[in-house]
Amino acid sequence: MAFETELRIATLAVQRASRITTALSPSTRSSASLLKDASSPITTAADFAAQASLIAALHAAFPHDTFIAEESSQQLRSAPALIEHIWTLLTTTRISDPAAASLALPKDREDMLRIIDMGASRGGPGRTWIMDPIDGTEAFVRGGQYAVCLALVEDGVQRLAVLGCPNMALDQGPISETTLPREGESGWLLSAVQGEGAWMQRLTWDVLEPRVPIPLRKEVGDIAGLKTVDAFASPTMDTGAHERVNELLGIKARATNLWSLQMKYVAVAVGGHDVMVRIPTYAGHRTAVWDHAGGQLLVEETGYRVTDVFGKCIDFSRGRRCSANLGNVVAPVEVHARVLEAVKNVHGFGEGVDGEGYPFERA
């Protein structure tokens, strides 16, 4: 298998980072956090600890690779109590597997901050690991669905993905914020390699069970019966436009509300859903690469196509944001063109150049 060593280490790294996120109890997730700025969501101690854990493990194994990650240590340096909390999470959280125990960790608190800031790369040619230590932090704080996300991108192309989903249950119907593992049960770890398929395994804190293949999705019957996922509270997505797309397609069921963007990809790949449409409320919106890298590869390897609202493939070679793309259309390969046509009839964007030089403008 291509990227076999990378997949093995990435799987162990995501397992350990996922364990770190669960070590921060729900009752302390809000208090062990900070607000990045007036417009940004909160970041918890677990976000920082998981990012430090991931980068430390990967940098030791692949010292010439670069990293794009969401968090920065800038505000942490004036929050010594939070630094101590993060350090405690890193140094006391354990996986009962010798292979996971061999993964590198920061040497001390200053090294931890340095490693967190290794995620400030802008990518470019060569190999870059893109990560979101907790995608869906606000849902994580509430005890809902979130994902620990990691993807290897080579020259802008996704090669490998590993996602840890500690709160995901697959035996309670389609994934939602409330389909959580029962007491004593675990979540799931998902992985994919470009051109070789996708797999899943139970996310335990011991030696992981063998991976099992995720089957390609079945043929679509009646398009009106497809299930969609959305984030109703998103301030940057036009959920009214999403409803109009569903009306054009004849989809009558209301979308399932999931805050985490990466968990929407997971919900499509394995969680009983079929379509995700994201039409921004303004032409200048450019989404962060860590919100998509990994999850996108997972759905592509399970029988879906992903484009922007104009039908262009998502370009991960432009730095920390998908600056060449606007919005997303995710649907089974055989009906993607029909969904995209409905999106184009609704979104109202023309393909010009906006005031910031982006290749889109309001029609």
One-letter amino acid for residue 73 of the chain: S
Least confident segment among 41-55, 151-165, 307-321, 340-354:
340-354
Q: How far, in Å, CA of 48 to CA of 113, rounded? A: 9
Tell me the CB-side half-sphere exposure of residue 3, using CA atoms within 13 A.
21
pLDDT for 34 beyond 60? no
Length of the chain: 363
216-225 pLDDT tens trace: 988 888 999 9
Q: Which residues of 7-27 are buried (b: 16+ CB within 10 A; e: fewer)?
A: bebbbbbbbbbbbbbbbbeee
**Tell me: the pLDDT tens digits for 253-296?**
999 999 999 999 999 999 999 999 999 999 889 999 999 999 99
Q: What is the pLDDT of residue 68?
A: 98
Q: What pLDDT is recorded for position 90?
A: 95
pLDDT score for 24:
79
Q: What is the pLDDT of residue 349?
A: 83
Average pLDDT, the chain: 91
Reported as a single tens digit per residue, the pLDDT across 286-338 is 999 999 999 999 999 999 999 999 999 999 999 999 999 999 999 999 999 99
State the DSSP code for 143.
Answer: T
Using DSSP's 3-state secondary structure scheme, residue 148 falls into strand
Domains identified in the chain and CATH numbers: 4-213 (3.30.540.10), 223-362 (3.40.190.80)
**Residue 296 backbone dihedrals phi, psi, to 5 degrees:** -65, -45
Question: How far is 199 from 6, CA to CA, in rounded Å?
Answer: 15
The predicted structure's pLDDT at residue 362? 37
Which residues carry a binding-site annotation? Answer: 70, 132, 134-135, 291
> Is the pLDDT confidence value at 42 over 80?
no
SS3 320: coil
For 220-242, letters b (16+ CB in 10 Å) and e give beebeebbbbbbeebeebbbebb
Q: Which residues are annotated as a binding site for Mg(2+)?
A: 70, 132, 134-135, 291
Catalytic residue set: 47, 137
Beta strands 256-257 and 228-230 are parallel
